Structure 1
Amino acid sequence: MSEQSREPGWYQDPFGTGPEDRRYWDGDTWLAVQQTQPAAFQAPGAPQQPQPVQPEPQPGYGSTPSDQQDGWPDQPRGFGWGQPASPDDRIRTPDGVELATWGRRFGAYVVDWIVIQLTTLVIAGALGLITAADEAFAPLFAAGAETDPAAASAAVDEAYVGFLTQHSGELIALSFLTLAASGAYHVVLVALRGRTLGKRLMGIRVRLRDAEGLPIWRAALSRWLLHYAVPNLLAGVPGLGLLAGVFPIVDGLWPLWDARRQAIHDKLAKTAVVRG
């Protein structure tokens, strides 16, 4: 029988040194797997011959699914099998505190913006600017319907320039007092309480990113300077006004794609906004 017509199995080793030597034929070639067939009779006291060791079946050569499975340990299960799934995939701080969503942060920002605008109106009223503006512009708007549109627009522009010139001192004071009120509101409340009115209403607070605790004064100040103060101060600088206007928008949107839900001012101050 030619070798090519043989079925896979154990045969007398054609390369062996004795008739007891066996080699495995896989149907195509002789494998380097050998065994010695024990003698049928063994003299008393003679050393026992080693028992033949069955070779591991080669994949695809006569093995069956049961052959491959029997005796094998249980395969590892998929990740998380047998364990309850996490209730959600909310991002948390290193110590497990839930981070605030962007929606809550935006809601808090809107509330805080309203608070600052109302404060600005109070300061403007105290400086007499509201009364001065009413005296300067109310007659023009009242007569606007009876005046040629082009002439009315020119009159308003002239009154506006005159208002700025006449009340420049009060307007500069309004800018600095509003900025100071914003700083007191954001820095002091965050440093002492960890939250502004808007954050309290939204159920969120500011804390250190890596450990529980209120932001230190320097962190609270850094947050306010980068997001509020510096953009407002640079708004009137030629060439920087556009950047000063765009940066707070980018900063406010940054938590939407940041893995830690931090704004740029959070990263500078090493803070995080969390639920609670």
Structure 2
Amino acid sequence: MNYAHWGSRVGAALIDGLVVLPFSILAFVFSGMGTDAETGQVSGPGPLYYVFLLLGLLVSAYNRWYLTGKTGQSWGKKALGISLIDEAGGQPIGMGKAFVRELAHFVDGIICYIGYLFPLWDAKKQTIADKIMKTVVVSA
């Protein structure tokens, strides 16, 4: 198997992060954490804050869980020509397993994010989450 290089994986993650960046910026803009001119009290987030927060979450979920689970490629992975597949079967892992894999990335970050660096020296170029979920990222 032609395992994807670490740089490709990082690039794909950056692109996937950029996809939700506009929603994050708009949520911040509409967070409403200012002072009310009449009362002098700090105001909380308005409804647009929650709208953009929810839209960002939905776009990210579609990209990272649905697309990755169904096709093996988020928008970032597709742009860089890599795919996430099941280690044994060689097929996309499905939405549920893609979601659980995202949760397993918590383990990658526990000790100073070392798990994200595992692909630099691992024979199959897997993160700890990939090892837990028995997945690999390959060149498409």
TM bin, normalised by shorter chain, reads 0.7 to 0.9
Take 1:172 and 1:250, find their aligned partners in 2: how far apart are those partners?
33
Question: What secondary structure sits across from 1:274 in the alignment?
Answer: strand
In the TM superposition, residue 256 of structure 1 has moved relative to its aligned partner by 1.4
* CA RMSD after TM alignment: 3.4
TM-score (norm 1): 0.41
Residues 143-158 of structure 1 mapped to structure 2, 5 A cutoff: none
> What's 1:119 paired with?
23
In the TM superposition, residue 247 of structure 1 has moved relative to its aligned partner by 5.5
Instruction: Please list the CA deviations of residues 46-69 of structure 1 after superposition, one character each: whole Å capped at 9, or x if unmatched.
Output: xxxxxxxxxxxxxxxxxxxxxxxx
Take 1:248 and 1:188, find their aligned partners in 2: how far apart are those partners?
28
Take 1:117 and 1:181, find their aligned partners in 2: how far apart are those partners?
11
Bigger helix share: 2
Q: Is the 8 A contact 2:119 2:125 kept in 1?
A: yes
> What's 1:266 paired with?
130
Instruction: Please list the CA deviations of residues 196-232 of structure 1 after superposition, one character each: whole Å capped at 9, or x if unmatched.
Output: 11111111011111222111333211112223xxx5x
If asked which structure has higher relative contact order (CA below 8 Å, sep 6+), I would say 2
Query: Which amino acid letter does the alignment assign opposite residue 134 of structure 2?
Result: K
Q: Is the 8 A contact 1:255 1:262 kept in 2?
A: yes
**Computing the radius of gyration over CA atoms, which structure comes out larger, 1 or 2?**
1
Take 2:61 and 2:134, find their aligned partners in 1: how far apart are those partners?
19
> Which of 247, 251, 255 is equivalent to 2:115?
251
Give the ranges of 4+ consecutive aligned residues of structure 1 lying more than 3 Å apart after TM superposition.
168-181, 243-248
Q: Is the 8 A contact 1:183 1:224 kept in 2?
A: no
Take 1:108 and 1:193, find their aligned partners in 2: how far apart are those partners?
15
Where do 5+ consecutive residues of structure 1 fail to align? 1-96, 138-158, 232-242
> Which of 12, 17, 24 is equivalent to 1:108?
12
Q: Is the 8 A contact 1:208 1:270 kept in 2?
A: yes
CA 1:173–1:246 in 2, change beyond 3 Å: closer, same or farther? farther
Q: How many residues align?
A: 136
Question: What secondary structure sits across from 1:162 in the alignment?
Answer: coil
Instruction: Please list the CA deviations of residues 106-159 of structure 1 after superposition, one character each: whole Å capped at 9, or x if unmatched.
Output: 11111111112123335x28xx716x46xx48xxxxxxxxxxxxxxxxxxxxx9
Q: Is the 8 A contact 1:222 1:265 kept in 2?
A: no
In the TM superposition, residue 162 of structure 1 has moved relative to its aligned partner by 2.3
Residues 116-265 of structure 1 mapped to structure 2, 5 A cutoff: 116-122=20-26, 124=27, 129=30, 132=32, 136=34, 162-163=42-43, 166-167=44-45, 178-227=56-105, 249-265=113-129
CA 1:188–1:114 in 2, change beyond 3 Å: closer, same or farther? same
Query: Which amino acid letter does the alignment assign opposite residue 271 of structure 1?
Result: T
TM-score (norm 2): 0.75
In the TM superposition, residue 268 of structure 1 has moved relative to its aligned partner by 2.1
CA 1:213–1:244 in 2, change beyond 3 Å: closer, same or farther? closer
